[in-house]
Structure 1
Amino acid sequence: MTYELPPLPYSYDALEPHMSARTLEFHHDKHHAKYVNQYNQLVQDAGMADRSIEEVIKATYNDSSKTGLFNNAAQAWNHTFFWNCMSPNSSGAPSGALADKIAEDFGSVDTFKQEFKQAGATQFGSGWAWLVLDNNGKLKVTKTPNAINPIALGETPLLTCDVWEHAYYLDYQNRKPDFIDTFLNNLVNWEFVAQQMESARQKASV
């Protein structure tokens, strides 16, 4: 099956002034599109085109003969997830069951934000910061290098921030911590994050 480049869930300028239309145009139309195109070619060559992209990610992780396929599959998936993690109508903070769970597992929303910002800011080189639900049903903050994501590691992603330089350099230059801080306080689609948590809980109860 062909994996299609999804359109952004908002207009290019919808996240301004926190993320510019120019950044979104380059990031989505150039970087994300390239991962999708390369993935579709490589997955055909590997004879795995009948599998979902999530299945391909799991099957190719740590397989040195399929590093290129894994990298492009994971990056195609990561970017789609990242777009959905943002909204022009961000509430700035979680609420309801998600806020309660964050307070339970981190102590407070502020503590969670500090841990998430630290994870992203200290990811050396390219990578991602994540809020995940682990196999014990507990929330935790992680960071991964390059294309690696929680799906490959057997955990459930709820939120991610792209900390590759192309995600923020046009708007923030070398101020990566400022970008992550702005992301957390002005851009996160907390309703989407809450939906991911609820979906994971429902799957676990089946």
Structure 2
Amino acid sequence: LIMAVLINRHGIKLKRFWRTIYILPWAMPGFISILIMRNMFNGHFGPINRYLEFIGLPAVPWFAETEWARTTAIIVNLWLGFPYFMAMMSGVISGISKDLYEAADVEGASSRQQFWKITVPLVLYMTAPLLIMGFAFNFNNFNMIYLLTSGLPSNASYFFAGDTDIFLSWIYKLTLERSQFHLASAVSIIIFIFLAGISIYNFKNTRAFKEEGLIQ
């Protein structure tokens, strides 16, 4: 949201250039980006660790230790999702009537007040349904975990799940690697009920849908 606001501000030079740079991760197929990131964060030959060693810092066990592996997964997921949400919010911001900001200027509102009182509420109002779908997608983002960490590092205290596994990658292991079909079925049903409940609740409480008459 912050980057979308900055790109749409008046006086920003090279807007098309910056928009192109920020959209680059979206232009490449997701699985290719994930594989590139996996090699970049590789603990043995990855360029990130080589650069850290070059400047005198110790190499980081990106995939060997639990906290670092989870941090890496979050960073890569943010990198992959950033262009979509930035483009979506940038489109919403560009569609906000300039009269609102002009009226706020007349009333003496600061840029910060305009951001919190005009931009943020309108952007959230318009993008709430898409944010809900984005949450559901990331909850089941199997490709990212499977290609980046494979659920590693392993954890003997979990039931066939690694420290970076999500429910969907855990179900994959239960079915195709461990033949625990009964447990995988139970987990799948729980995931469905959980996501369906959250989605229905949020859709019913989303004003954008109510005003369009899509829900009762």
Q: TM-score, normalised by structure 1?
A: 0.30
Higher RCO (CA-CA < 8 Å; seq separation 6+): 1
Which structure shows the higher helix fraction? 2
Q: Which has the larger radius of gyration?
A: 2
More strand by share: 1
